Each structure stands twice: as structure tokens, then as C-alpha cells.
Amino acid sequence: MYKMQDTLCTHCNFCSAKDGPNLCYAARTARFGLEGNFPTKDNKANTKFGKTQSAGEQFHPGTPRYKAFRDIIFMPELLGTDRVARMAEVGHEPLYTDCESASTLGGFEVASPLVCAAMGSTPVANDIGPDTSAGCAKAGICISIGENIVNMWGYDKPYDEGRPTLVDRIEGFTKNYTGKGGVIIQQNVEDNKVDVWKTIYNDPRFAEAFDKGMIGFEGKGGQGAKPGMGGEVKIPREKAKRIHELYHFPVNPFEVEQELYQRHSVPGTATSQSLEEYYTWMCTEFPKAKIWFKTGPYGDLFAQLDVMEKVATQFGVRINCTIDGGEGGTGMSPLGPMNDMGLPMITCMLAVKKARKMYKNLDFTIAGGMVTGRDLAKSLAMGADGMGIGKGFLIATMAGRHQFAGADSAIEDIREAGAKGVYNYAIEGITNEAKMLISSIAKYDFNDMKDNAPFSVSGQTIDNIDVIALDKEVAEMFDILYAYDAKLWDKLPEITAEMRKRCEEKAAVTA
């Protein structure tokens, strides 16, 4: 049987650049586009759907450590009026291609509520950075550009010949902008020392982009891979000497000669008061920039959100908060934090569900181990406004380079190929797969996924009947039905009757 690999490997060596039977979802859709959502044979795109026979895996070896979106599935219905209403709008029985994905996220109009989550100064992320930015621009989605880039690689003049700078990565987006999406730039403590945001904001090259609402700034409170820690890399001696005054080095490169030196970024320390002052400073100093904030899987998440809501209300802005679950990261962090630090993504998703009812001026992007269109559809169904992916876009860029450029191609052609891989992954892959699922529950607009009124069934409150849990604890967490409930078929007729009543009332109002 042909195996469909729908997660990312824990030891990724970029299968994007290889041929074999087990391409991950990111590499498969980056290379084959829409066809990557269907079974493929020997990593060759099929011109005919249905040519290859494959089965969805029903058994996962071992016990997964984290509960996750794999424990939630969609529950479609055949009968109902929403599908009929959409048929009247489009003039034919609706297909998944009639599902609208355009939305808003963190102040940006987007073609799909996807974010390429921040990747910073690591060599692999920086080298392909302009490709990734260009692909996100062409896809009409958001990309966050990570920290430490200016100090490591340069603002607009490269410290290392031929290597991209921060401006290269920003312009990868702005020069390919199609009217949707946005580029968001992070700044950490060390970036602040050299005024990265101020430099960008006052750069005449980006004046038009700010005027068009194309650029945002993202504060950094943490990430899923290593919450409570800053960036960790090893760098050669000359680079260590150049940035020695900005970062902490356990070994002084001026005093000790060795091949590589550990460079540590500080994690950033805050109180509620200093966090409020920070957001206030962002809104005051950079009024043309969209305001975003990325935080990790912390126990004091709601204390952070309280401050965000206060400032957002005061300044009349909408702040996007990206919450990165413990499964997050591109796999370049220390093993201990990656394995044993931070709340799981699904626990953070529960926080988002609660937060949506509490805060009126915040958008929520959920991240942490996300890969597929199924993940996007479930993120929206469970209450998020958008979904962030990091490693998947890294792989998609590499896969695009491998699939669409030759070994002797010019750098411009290589970058174009990388961008095509990103576009394929984001739109042909993730967005189309999400449309398949969302349209199957008779919803034809991604924004309608947020429109879920609770049902009261047999004394139980069901928060969302679009999804059903395969795990009892997950069902209890989110107040959704449990697939193996012995009384499930006693509850479903009640839910179906109430749902049809609501659909008819909705149709009567819109008629």
C-alpha cells in the first residue's frame, strides 16, 4: 500500500529534494499542487485522479504523547437548507470550489487565513527567505519574518556575500504583492538595540507599503519550541566578534579561538505594566503598522491577553495574537525544551475558544505542529481566526526549488521556483483541502466557521456540531459530541431537527 505521510518528520532531512514513496504533505503539495491532496504514485503527479489506490491510515503505532487535531473529525449531513441556499447563489449544486476562503486577519485582507510563522536568522531559513516571502505574497497570505536577521545577516547590505538581508526578505513580499496578505516583522531585545522597526518604518523604500497597509510589526513573547528561552545558534568567530556587544556569548570570541561560538538571545522579561507600555509604544510610534504579538504556550496566557485587549481598545486597533503550542518549532531548538516545555497546542486551542468570548478587539492565530488543510479547517471550526505554519513552509520552499528549477538555474529562477512551491502548498494544497472539508458540512465561506450557536441536547450543551471527537477527554474539553458515546444516536436526531430549524429560520431572514 502506498503510504500518505500527513505529518512532518521529527528528523526532517528535506524529503522535498528526494524521490521516494513517503513525501510529507508539505513537500507533496508544494511539488504537485492540487494533485498533492490526492493519492499519488511514486511521487509523480497523476493526470487522472483515481489512478492510484491508497487507503487512509487507520492505525498509528504507539500512543501519541499529545492529544491533537487527529482526535477531532468533521460530521457532515446530507439533509439541510444551507446547501440548497448556496445552490441558488451559484446556479448549480455547490462544489468545494464554490467555497470562499478570503477573510481578514490581524488587520490584513487575506486570500486564506494562513500565516507563514516567523523564521529568523538560522542559515536555512534566511537563505530561502526571499522565496518564501514572494510565495506568500503571490498566495495573498501573511508571512512573519523572524528576529535577529539584521544583526546576523545585515539590514540591506549583506555581511556575507550572496546571502539575503532583511530588506531582501521584506521586498520578496512587497515586490510581489497582489492586493492581499501582509508581511510582519518581529523585533526582539537585541533587534531593538539597533532600532530595526524604526529603520524599516522610516525607510523610503517601504513608505508606499505602509500607506497601503501591507506591513505589520510583531512583538515576541515566546514560541512553542522553547518558551522562556531566546534564540540559540552557533556562529563562526568573525561573526561572533562583530555582534559580541549585542548578545551573550559563554565563550568570548576575542579571548578564545575555536571554530564555532554559542550565541544566546535573551528571552525578554516583562510585567503586566511593562507589557502594556510596550503595546502602547508600538501603537504610538508606528501608527501605520498592523500590530501583532506572538506568544508561547504559557500558563499566564490570559494575563497577557488582558493587556492586549486593553491597549487595542484604547487605540481602536485590532491586534493579532499568535499562540504557538508546545509542538511548535522548525526543529532547531534544544531537545529538552522541544520535548518537555509548554502546553500542547490543543490546550492552547481551548484557551482561544474561551478568549473569543472575552475579547472583542483581538484575532487569534493558532500554531504548533500544523501541516495540512485539515488542520486549517479544524482550527477555524474550533474558534481560531487563522493558522500558523513554520516548518511546512520551509519544506515547501525547498520542494519548489527541487521541482521547478534545475541544478544550473540562475538564482532568480531558483527563487521563483521556491515561491511557486510556497504558493502550491498554501493555496492548491492547504486552502483547497480545507475547502473540501468545510463545504462538506454545508458551509461555503471560511468566515461561517465562526458562526456556531450551542445546542442543548438531553441536558448536555453541545458547543459545535460541525465536529465530533474520537477522544472522550477532548470531547469534554470542547463541549462537543463523542463518537463512541453509547447514546450518540439518541442525541443526533434532536440536534438534526434543531439544526434544520435554524437553517430554515436563516433562509427566511435572507430571502
Same domain, 314 and 424: yes
Q: What are φ and ψ of residue 496, in 5° steps?
A: -60, -45
C-alpha distance from residue 414 to each of 26, 121, 295, 409 (Å): 18, 20, 33, 6
Q: How confident is the model at residue 62, as a pLDDT?
A: 59
Domain-located, residue 222: yes
Residue 34 domain-assigned? no
Residues 332 and 253 in one domain: no
CB 260 within 8 A of CB 233: no
Can you give the residue range of the structural domain that contains 129? 103-230+265-440
pLDDT value for 400: 95
pLDDT tens-digit readout, 258-314: 999 999 888 888 899 999 999 999 999 999 999 999 998 888 999 999 999 999 999
Residue 4 lies in a domain: no
Shared domain check, 221 and 120: yes
32 domain residue, yes or no = no
Q: What is the pLDDT of residue 46?
A: 47
Is 193 inside any structural domain?
Answer: yes
User: Which cell goes with 223?
Assistant: 514560541
Instruction: State the CATH number of the domain containing residue 167.
Output: 3.20.20.70
Q: Has residue 48 been placed in a domain?
A: no
Residues 243 and 198 placed together within one structural domain of the fold = no
Cα–Cα distances (Å) from 477 to 71, 355, 380, 384, 390, in that order, read 12, 14, 17, 16, 27
How far is C-alpha 161 from the chain's CA centre? 31
pLDDT given at position 61: 54
**In this structure, are 349 and 256 located in the same domain?**
no
Domain boundary among 398, 416, 440: 440
Give CA–CA dist 285/390, Å, rounded.
29
Same domain, 190 and 243: no
Domain boundary among the residues 382, 417, 440 is at 440
Domain end, chosen from 396, 415, 440, is at: 440
For residues 276 and 300, membership in a common domain is answered with yes
In a domain, 68, yes or no: no
Identify the pLDDT of residue 8: 67
Has residue 26 been placed in a domain? Answer: no
Query: Distance between CA atoms of 367 and 325, rounded to whole angstroms?
Result: 6
* Tally of domains within the chain: 3
Residues 340 and 456 in one domain: no
Low-confidence stretches of the chain (pLDDT < 50) are 1-4, 45-56, 58-59
Are 393 and 458 within one domain?
no
pTM greater than 0.85: yes
Question: Are 236 and 378 found together in one domain?
Answer: no
User: If you average pLDDT over every residue of the chain, what do you get?
Assistant: 87
- pLDDT score of 3: 43
404-452 pLDDT tens trace: 998 899 999 999 999 999 999 999 999 999 999 999 998 999 999 977 7
Asked whether residue 109 falls in the same domain as residue 197, the answer is: yes
Grid cell of 118 as nine digits:
516567523
Same domain, 253 and 292: no
- In degrees and rounded to multiples of 5, residue 367 shows phi and psi of -140, 170
